[in-house]
Amino acid sequence: MKRKLLCSLIAGIGLAAGGLAHAEVSGGVVKIGVLSDMSGPYADLSGPGSVVAAKMAAEDYVKQTGSKLKIEIVSGDHQNKPDVGSSITRKWIDSEGVDMILDVPTSSVMFAVAEVVKEKNKVLVDSTGGSSDMTGKSCNANTVHWTYDTWMLAHGTGSAVVKSGGDSWFFLTADYAFGHALEKDTSEVVKANGGKVLGSVKVPLGTTDFSSFLLQAQGSKAKIVGLANAGNDTINSIKQAAEFGIVKGGQKMAGLLVFISDVHGLGLQTAQGLQLTETFYWNQDDGARAWSKRFGERHGGKMPTSAQAGVYAGMLHYLKAVDALQEDADGAKVVAEMKKLPTDDPLFGKGVVREDGRKIHPAYLFEVKTPAESKAPWDYYKLVQTIPADQAFRPLKDGNCPLVK
């Protein structure tokens, strides 16, 4: 009994002292909200896996640096609806003391959350939203855009495919902001590299049957069928393209946004030969493999997507900045610190966060292996080309970000 009392007392003193030492960290804890699609079409590529990645970041950071930060993680489901996303964000910041929002797939939700975060002067580290406007005309001092964006996807896949002979394109485009942006960006790249765009068709989001649109693509005689869509739309269009003999008929598919969870869902038999651009692949080097194995153990054997890797890396860097400042209340100040500190993590390597909030790292053009080439579960990609960090993302001056003078 006495011993128990003593223990509690010591623990209490420890807590109090901890509280004193970090008086500037709001509420004594760094509170992070993983806001994601937990149940809809993007739940496999981010969702619960992103929460696992964030928890690993918290544990690894404390273990590796011996930091005294107390880190708490909450998670929420924005259901891909901007209004739901911004109201969760408001609630988190106003009544639960959340300092930073993480993940946030779906561009429309990303922008809505970014608005709230800016208004409240907190931080958004977005790994999974796609629109490159986040670091362009909509950039702000409270947001870091981590993993990828539409400019990068368009340039990575677009120029590589044109250079390897795919000089005429037909687009299947998801009929909302993200799809339109991706088609426009890619069309420009295709034309700039001497290719032609023969046509496109706007497909309503959530269409399950793509056969009519694939017939139009087939009829266009374009060498490349560009998929300016995401998630289940991409999966269904690739699967049905195989059924209609598009690839056998000599046309090639180019997936502009394909995550490894999509390839896993399709199976190699259907996905083989598909070219895609990514900034992270779990099997790319020893650091990534070691981390991914640990991730897999905690996530039902599934390997991480680049989006989930970005959640981990982005959070590590955020924690570094908070630790350096010993403060997390002033979001703009923390983001400024994140831009000042060089980034270095086992997944994306060394890099920087640019003035416009864009995280800079290399990108890779991969081709999906054939079933015969794949040696192990989740062994899906072979590297075609590495795009160096300074070419992978839109040049700073071209984004028209108001922060860049």
Partner 1 sequence: MDIFGIPVQALMGQLLIGLINGSFYALLSLGLAVIFGLLNIINFAHGAFYMMGAFGAYLLLNKLGLNYWWALLLSPIIVGAVGVVLERTMLKRLYQLDHLYGLLLTFGLALIIQGLFRNEFGSSGLPYAIPAQLSGGQNLGFMFLPNYRAWVIVASLIVCLLTWYVIEHTRLGGYLRAATENPQLVQAFGINVPRMITLTFGFGVGLAALAGVMAAPIYQVGPLMGADLIIVVFAVVVIGGMGSIMGAIVTGFGLGLVEGLTKVFYPEASTTVIFVIMTIVLLLRPAGLFGAEK
Q: Using CB under 8 A, which residues numbered 27 to 46 contact partner 1?
A: 39-45
301 contributes a contact to partner 1 by CB under 8 A: no
Q: Is the CB of 59 or the CB of 243 nearer to partner 1?
A: 243
216 contributes a contact to partner 1 by CB under 8 A: yes
Residues 6 or more apart whose CB falls under 8 angstroms from that of 316 comprise 57, 60, 61, 345
Q: Which of 264, 339, 369, 394 binds partner 1 (CB under 8 A)?
A: 264
Part in contact with partner 1 (CB under 8 A); list of ranges 259-267, 327-335, 343-351, 381-389: 259-267
Q: Which of 106, 218, 284, 306 binds partner 1 (CB under 8 A)?
A: 218
What is the pattern of x (binds partner 1, CB under 8 A) and - over residues 335-364?
Answer: ------------------------------
Part in contact with partner 1 (CB under 8 A); list of ranges 129-137, 232-240, 328-336, 350-358: 232-240
370 contributes a contact to partner 1 by CB under 8 A: no
Part in contact with partner 1 (CB under 8 A); list of ranges 61-69, 108-116, 122-130, 266-274: 266-274
Burial class (CB within 10 angstroms; exposed 0-12, middle 13-18, buried 19+) of 70: middle
Q: Which of 12, 165, 267, 402 binds partner 1 (CB under 8 A)?
A: 267
213 contributes a contact to partner 1 by CB under 8 A: yes
CB 226 within 8 A of CB 198: no
Q: Which of 202, 289, 294, 382 binds partner 1 (CB under 8 A)?
A: 202
The residues binding partner 1 (CB under 8 A) are 39-45, 47, 175, 201-204, 206-209, 211-213, 215-216, 218-219, 231-232, 235-236, 239-240, 243-245, 249, 261-262, 264-267, 269-270, 302
